[in-house]
Amino acid sequence: MFTHRPSSRIIIVAIALAFGLAGCSLGGSTNASPTAGSTATTAAATAQSTATTAAAAAPTTSNRPLAQAVATGSSTVATTASPAVATAARTAASPTAGAPTTLPDVAGVAAKVRPATVLVLNLVQARARSGGIPGQMTPGSGALPGQATPGAGTTPQGAGSGFIYDPAGYIITNNHVVEGAQQLKVVLPPPDNRSFDAQLVGRDPQTDLAVLKIDGPNLPTVPLGNSSQLQVGEWVVAIGNALALPGGPTVTEGVVSATGRDEQEPGAQQGTVGPTLYDLIQTDAAINPGNSGGPLVNMRGEVVGINTLGSTQAQGIGFSIAIDGAKTIAQQLRDHGTVTRGYLGIGSATVTPSIAASLGLKATEGVVIGQLHPNGPAAQAGLQQGDVIVGLGEVPVHALQDLQNALTTKYKPGDNVAVKINRNGQEQTIQVTLGQKPTQ
């Protein structure tokens, strides 16, 4: 099960802290950077020896998490037995483990990125309980122990992260971090510590992205990279306000475990489902409650992803929204406050063996049209019920997520695109001018 609320629902965080989770390791790591030559060789040999000794001496339970994944709001804190051993093992397992090597400079990356990684507080009007005073913090009201109310009459209902990517004060974060807020506050990390009321420029629930803006001089920024250039096994660093702990953002390191993942988010209400997110980066860098909206960066300190999802049932599995697709969404939000998507006007489903058999389809993959909306773009262009879409413009369509992703990030209303279909076993192409989805 994956959860997408590492926005640190503070009530449960307070309970977690009371049970001693504050004393557990949260997956952060400390890496030394050998200078060169014999020092690097010694470091590699030491890492190999450490990993081998730990594996031989540890009981079979040593690889189990110290604490089970703890859902916070709808996210997780996953702790591992020894991040240092994991780092040593990774180094020893490297194809160049026997050669001089230099560990990644996580400290250097953190120094570049932490100043622009901000705490985002989602504030709502405080409700007085029986005998309470309006604005006064009461048990379960949402504040961490000892935390003051950030504004008169308001209380934090959640906290997450974001990053300033434009000196004009634009910040990218997750939609679920800001959802339902009556007021938003952004706090820069120490030693800056400035606090700003933030404007919600726009948000897009379908991609779980939002853009905020603050106004202030000399704002730190972090550059945006290219997620398409990531390689599996490449080192990355996740930075964010884990558990909304004081002292500034937490830094964790790991590798790119996979790219191009698709995962469905949980809904805003427990037991419901949310939108499916596409083209995600999977990483084993710890993504803890409060990390939502924070940057996943490469070793050049460039943002390659937005930390979003964590697993409640496995360790070392987290997901970040790839920055390449997020750039398009963020720009639309800045320009229009909303995202406009290409619209075909169809009801559709991914072709599965059972669907293909029941409908007598000759295609084994793609998206089958089950319904055509009257006067919609697809119907007007001549698409028919039972047609199987196998391509949209330059994008191959193997499943519904491919089609939806293309309509979200590549094409817009008014674009004339070639829709490749399989009709009764014969492939053909039909030109369709995309429309705009009617408002409900």
pLDDT of residue 46: 44
Q: Would you place residue 410 in the very low, low, confident or very high pLDDT band (cuts 50, 70, 90)?
A: confident
pLDDT at 326: 93
Residue 3: the pLDDT is 54
Which of 208, 284, 324, 387 is catalytic? The answer is: 208
| Confidence tier at 8 by pLDDT (50, 70, 90) | very low
CB 90, CB 50: distance < 8 Å:
no
Helix (H, G, I), strand (E, B) or coil at 414: coil
**Cα-based angle 324, 346, 439 (whole degrees, multiple of 5):** 75
pLDDT at 10: 39
Domains within the chain, CATH numbers bracketed: 2-112+222-336 (2.40.10.10), 342-436 (2.30.42.10)
Percent of the chain with pLDDT over 90: 50
Summarize pLDDT for 121-176 with one digit per residue, the tens: 999 876 544 333 333 222 222 333 334 444 446 677 889 999 999 999 999 999 99
Q: What pLDDT, on a 0 to 100 scale, did the predictor assign at position 112?
A: 96
Question: Mind listing the pLDDT tens digit for each residue in 369-391?
Answer: 999 999 999 999 999 999 999 99
195 annotated active-site: no
Least confident of 67-71, 270-274, 335-339, 375-379: 67-71
The whole-number pLDDT of residue 132 equals 34
Please report how many Cα atoms fall inside a 13 Å half-sphere around the Cα of residue 106, on the Cβ side. 20
Amino acid at 414: G
CB atoms within 10 A of CB 73: 25
Could you identify the residue written with the tokens 């990030």?
409
336 is annotated as an active-site residue? no
Q: State if pTM tops 0.75.
A: no
**Nearest alpha-carbon partner for 298 in 240, 221, 224:** 224
Banded pLDDT at 252 (limits 50, 70, 90): very high
Catalytic residue of the set 292, 311, 320, 348: 292
Report how far residue 218's alpha carbon sits from residue 169's, in angstroms, rounded to the nearest whole number.
9
Model pLDDT for residues 352-366, shown as the tens digit of each residue: 999 999 888 988 899
pLDDT confidence of residue 101: 63
- Residue 279 bears catalytic tag: no
The answer to whether 235 touches 313, Cβ cutoff 8 Å, is no
The 10s digit of each residue's pLDDT in 97-120 is 444 567 889 999 999 999 999 999
Least confident of 48-52, 71-75, 196-200, 382-386: 71-75
With a cut of 80, say whether residue 66 has pLDDT above it.
no
Q: Per-residue pLDDT for 53 more than 90? A: no
- Going by the DSSP 8-state scheme, the letter that residue 68 receives in this structure is -
* Average pLDDT score over the chain: 76
Catalytic residue among 4, 74, 176, 279: 176
More confident residue, 352 or 17: 352
Q: How far apart are CA 78 and CA 115, in angstroms?
A: 25
CA dist 344 and 400 (Å) reads 13
Could you tell me the pLDDT band of residue 262, with boundaries at 50, 70 and 90? Answer: confident
Write down the pLDDT at residue 25.
Answer: 31
